[in-house]
Amino acid sequence: MSEATAPAAAEETVAPSPKKRPLGLLIALASALAAGGAGAAWWWSAHGTKPPPAPVVLPAQYLALDPPFVVNFEADQLVRFLQIAVQLMSRDPKTIELLKSNDPVVRNELLMLFANQKYATLATRDGKEALREQALASVRKVLQDAGGQPQHLEAVYFTTFVMQ
């Protein structure tokens, strides 16, 4: 019996060998992870970080308010005259058409604005710029009242400005 127990004891003392994973399975798993990472990187580059397309900027369109405005105002007990030629600038054709169809209202608002000025203020560049900003606000208000989009009127320009 001792002989029978000796081989059994020898078998018990031998350490079991570690199980080996198949090399093909590890390669397949690494390849799948790499492909998934590459796919995610492609998706983010195509969808996640792409900037929105730039808006299309239309060319500027100008609308001359003819004839020029002529107003008189009082300055130091003297009657003074002011002549201003005005052009409106927008990039939206609908805004230009709306301004054309509301020309009498636009002209009235600007005429009242111009006639209510002081000579000493308009004699300075800052005074002229302030008047231009007031004119822009007045015309934008007319646009808003007419159902237009006032922000589409970008500028009011004085193409002639004569005081005497």
Q: Do 64 and 81 meet the contact criterion of CB atoms below 8 Å apart?
A: no
pLDDT the model gives residue 126: 96
Q: From residue 111, how far is each of 82, 103, 142 by CA, in Å?
A: 11, 12, 13
Is the domain of 28 the same as that of 81?
no
pLDDT the model gives residue 35: 77
Answering whether pTM is above 0.75, one says: no
Is the domain of 141 the same as that of 80?
yes
Residue 76 lies in a domain: yes
pLDDT the model gives residue 91: 97
The number of domains in the chain is 2
Look at residues 63, 108, 113, 109 and name the one whose alpha carbon lies nearest to residue 86.
Answer: 63
Task: Give mean pLDDT in consecutive 10-residue pieces for the chain, a chain of 164 residues.
Answer: 52 56 70 74 64 83 97 81 97 97 97 92 94 98 96 97 92
**From the CA atom positions of the chain, what is the Rg in Å?**
41
Residue 54 lies in a domain: no
Residue 143 lies in a domain: yes
pLDDT the model gives residue 37: 75
Q: State the sign of the Cα–Cα–Cα–Cα dihedral 9, 12, 15, 21.
A: positive
Interatomic CA distance for residues 105 and 107, integer angstroms? 5
Residue 56 lies in a domain: no
